[in-house]
Amino acid sequence: MKTGLTTHSLSNKDFREQLYSMLQQGIKPDFIILHYSGRYRFSKAFGFIKKNLRQYKLKSISYILSRSKGNTSVSTYKLSAEAEKETDTFLSLAKVIPANGINSASTIALIKSMGYAIIACNSGKLNAAVLNLNNAIFLNVHASKLPAYRGMNNVEWALWENQNMYGTIHRISKGIDEGDILLQDKIETPNLQTIAEYRAYSFFKSNALMGKAVKGYLDKKLSFTKQEVSGKPIDQYYVMHPILKEYLNKKISKQVI
């Protein structure tokens, strides 16, 4: 079985952390699908990619946005310089396949041509046509416990309800965070100062589970477990209202958790 990842940017933080976790487990992904390839091709035309993949990162919109938001936590919980270097080295040799949108017919044909594959997906919502491909398993990182915290702002809601942090690797399915679980680990969390820090820490630790999950699956030590979900919209979580977030931040700053 092949292994792969999808991403819209090689500088995407989650993608790089997941890739590094796979490398740590001795897994060298067979392919990386870089979709929304217009930007990639544009950059390639100017020779940026060949010269220096890291330079491509500096140009990426997501990187600029994350900087402009002043998200300091991003810089706190990130791969070490050595890890980044190892990731870059792998990327410089990896089979990076430019593709159109992840749900486009050409990308679907591309994935079909890969044969059986388990793919760490960083590509947003997948359409039924992609999910119905019977040669591919798409994995998602969910920085919370499932099925308890399906949906949005799950780190915030878990903190609000005084629950432990978890990281989950699950199969992507039609429903929101309803797919079968491959790996779910409790994340030991130190006392942090802000919601943003908890989020960054939780996602950083959850991304690091990807390698373990894929390795476990390939070695037949891990298998998928079905989630028991009601499917009712009221049983999932939504974007937290700013007033609740404000109280949550106060609670965190008091270290009440």
Q: Name which of 3 and 236 has its Cβ closer to other proteins.
A: 236
Query: In sequence order, what are the residues at sequence separation of 6 or more whose Cβ sits closer than 8 angstroms to the Cβ of residue 30?
Result: 2, 3, 4, 95, 114, 117
Site size with other proteins, rule: CB under 8 A: 22
Q: Name which of 221 and 254 has its Cβ closer to other proteins.
A: 254
Give start and end residues of each alpha helix (H) in 161-237.
195-207, 209-218
Residue with tokens 């990639």: 40
Site string for other proteins, 141-170 (x = CB under 8 A): ----------------x--xxx--------
Q: Cα(191)–Cα(198) distance, rounded to whole angstroms?
A: 9
Q: Contact with other proteins (CB under 8 A): which of 42, 46, 116, 238?
A: 238
- If one asks whether residue 247 binds other proteins (CB under 8 A), the answer comes out as yes
Q: Which stretch binds other proteins (CB under 8 A): 1-9, 181-189, 218-226, 246-254?
A: 246-254
Angle between helices 195-207 and 242-253 (to 10 degrees): 90
Q: How far is CA 123 from CA 99, 172, 227, in A?
A: 12, 11, 22
Shortest Cβ 246–other proteins spacing (Å):
8
Q: Name which of 190 and 233 has its Cβ closer to other proteins.
A: 233
Strands (E), 132-213: 136-142, 165-171, 181-187
Residues making contact with other proteins (CB under 8 A): 157, 160-162, 232-234, 236-238, 240-244, 246-248, 250-251, 256-257
